[in-house]
Amino acid sequence: MYYIIGDIHGQFLKLKKLIDLIAVHITADDTIIFLGDYIDRGSSSFEVIEFLSGLPELYKTCFLKGNHEDMFLDYYNTGKGLELYLRNGGEATISSYKENTGEMKLPEKHQVFFSNLKLYYEGEDFIAVHAGLNPEIADPGKHDSEELLWIREKFFHARHKWEKTIIFGHTPTLLLHNSSSIFHDPGRNIIGLDTGAMYDGSPLTCLRWPDKKILRAV
């Protein structure tokens, strides 16, 4: 089984509740896949990364990179892109780290966490990716990283049915079908899991694959 989790955006309490729900069901053979966007917007980005950094000691895990991690690392490593980052909720992450460490500095294990993020995960019958895939390119390994992290309409509006189910985050499901439930488009064989955890009252969602059981934490 795979437990695939949508965008967290600094919502530590929802994350902790969801992992507690997963812990009731998960076995040693199962893997938890995170679709990225762990930080920004919510108030507890430091706590989220601290918590996630310790999960591989308990479970098999795969952490994907989101566009928010991409913006953050660009700012943190080069000092560039700050204006774009702040426009996208980065102030919450900067504040969270300053509150917990006294400065905007990544602890060593946080640096390791960010440096090991993957761009996608391919299973036998699904591909997990943060934003989506270019429908003109069959092999996810041949995609430009910017598309994997940022693509929207070109992916989910394409007249294209994927052979493997594409499970993605990035675009809130409120924008896809005006609902905070998961977005499932059988015609394109895609499933969106960003159910808007950053909004009050909206859940952080996990899809268990392949039986499609839904776990939610509000």
Just list the catalytic residues. 68
- The owner of tokens 């069901």 is 25
* CA-wise closest residue to 11 among 194, 215, 212, 209: 194
Say if CB 176 and CB 13 are below 8 A apart: no
- Residue 23's φ and ψ, nearest 5 degrees, are -60, -25
Please give the structure tokens belonging to residue 26.
């998960």
186 cis-preceded (ω within 30 degrees of 0): no
Which two tokens mark 201? 């009252």
Distance CA 149, CA 170 (A): 8
97 burial level (CB within 10 Å; 0-12, 13-18, 19+): buried
- Contact between residue 100 and residue 46 where contact means Cβ atoms under 8 Å apart: yes
Tokens of 3: 């437990």
Spatial separation of the C-alpha atoms in residues 35 and 152, rounded to whole Å: 15
Start-to-end C-alpha separation, the chain: 23
